[in-house]
Structure 1
Amino acid sequence: MRNLFILFVLFTVFFVSCQEEEDLTFQETGVVVDYSGMNYCGFVIELDNGTKIQPHNYPKDFEFVQGQRILVDYVMLPNIISTCDKGTACDILNVQELTCGSPVTDLYANNYDSLANDPVQVYEATANAGCLHLKLSFSGGCREHVVNLARIHQENQDGNNIPVLEIRHDAKDDLCEMWLTREMQFDLSALQDEGAKQFYLKALLTNGETYLKLIDIE
């Protein structure tokens, strides 16, 4: 009987400690990455500490967008087995947007070709609240694509001083032909700090033509 009681106590302590470990709340900063179309994945948060987490439950009034920098309070859910291999499932208790998206990359003559320029299809491009909102499509599905927004310093449209920004898409030699659509945001605060009120947006389109649009920064 005594041995059974000791075993019961040990089991209870172990069970409670496991529950407490699972219920630990963490607070970290990270970046939202959209893996939709890859291995049954969706939005994944790549934390600054190197951990990747998959939002299982999160505040319904928050909208995840590719490139957001966020501050999250979360609880790991190690017992939930996800079909996506990009991180551990978790419950997001609180989430706060730190910046609307990824910063603009500066390209000059000496590093102009440092970012790939694979074609995309541009569906939406608007700027407000210091953010460029894009809706793009491209073919793929087997590799992780990267989209940057680059400022082309050596270009000048119509002889004026309006900044030129270009969508730079790196398909990573993805040969798959699934048509993927991504919504993403980029931070325009650097342009605003310079006093820019407009910019040209360029992109190489899937039909071989060049997309060029003058956008007001609202």
Structure 2
Amino acid sequence: MKTVRLLTVLIIFAACKTSPPISTCRYTGEVKDMSGIDGCGLVITMKDGTTLQPVEFANPGFTLKAGQTVRFDFMELKDRPSNCMGGRVVRIECIQETK
């Protein structure tokens, strides 16, 4: 019985360390290719014109592509300088392509 309880607790803790569910992706933006500017690559432009430079992903399996429209959530990394001259350096917490 103790083994079953221990396994249950371990499974619950392991499940808590996954990325947030897609429903928490609050923002919408378009992926743009800014590789023509030194230090830039793919960025996300939000509807209000804010440019985000993703440098970390909670879900490393997602691949950004120019022209994609995405729903996402992010955390700004204020201690990281931008190589892209304008744009906030961010960690993408959740992301999905919209159709």
The residue number in structure 2 matching 1:62 is: 62
Q: How does 1:1-218 map to 2 (within 5 A)?
A: 27-58=26-57, 59-99=59-99
Question: Which TM-score applies when normalising by structure 2?
Answer: 0.69
Measure how far apart 1:26 and its partner are: 7.7
Question: Which TM-score applies when normalising by structure 1?
Answer: 0.32
Q: Return 5+ residue gaps in structure 2 as ranges.
A: 1-23
CA–CA distance in structure 1, aligned partners of residues 54 and 87 of structure 2: 10
**Aligned partner of 1:60: which letter?**
P
Q: Which has the higher contact order (CA 8 A, sep 6+)?
A: 2
CA–CA distance in structure 2, aligned partners of residues 67 and 86 of structure 1: 20
Larger strand share, 1 or 2 = 1
SS in structure 1 at match of 2:80 = coil
CA contact (8 A) 1:74 1:90 kept: yes
CA contact (8 A) 1:31 1:46 kept: yes
Which one has a bigger Cα radius of gyration?
Answer: 1
Measure how far apart 1:37 and its partner are: 3.4
Measure how far apart 1:56 and its partner are: 1.1
After TM superposition, which residue ranges in structure 1, 4 or more long, deviate above 2 angstroms?
Answer: none
Aligned residue pairs, count: 75
Q: Percent sequence identity over matched residues?
A: 35
Measure how far apart 1:92 and its partner are: 0.2
Q: Return 5+ residue gaps in structure 1 as ranges.
A: 1-24, 100-218
CA–CA distance in structure 2, aligned partners of residues 86 and 57 of structure 1: 18
CA–CA distance in structure 2, aligned partners of residues 93 and 28 of structure 1: 11
CA contact (8 A) 2:25 2:94 kept: no
CA–CA distance in structure 2, aligned partners of residues 97 and 41 of structure 1: 21
SS in structure 2 at match of 1:65 = coil
CA contact (8 A) 1:32 1:70 kept: yes
CA–CA distance in structure 1, aligned partners of residues 40 and 51 of structure 2: 12
SS in structure 2 at match of 1:56 = strand
Per-residue deviation, residues 21-51 of structure 1 (Å, max 9, x unmatched) = xxxx983100000111312101110001221
CA–CA distance in structure 2, aligned partners of residues 64 and 35 of structure 1: 13
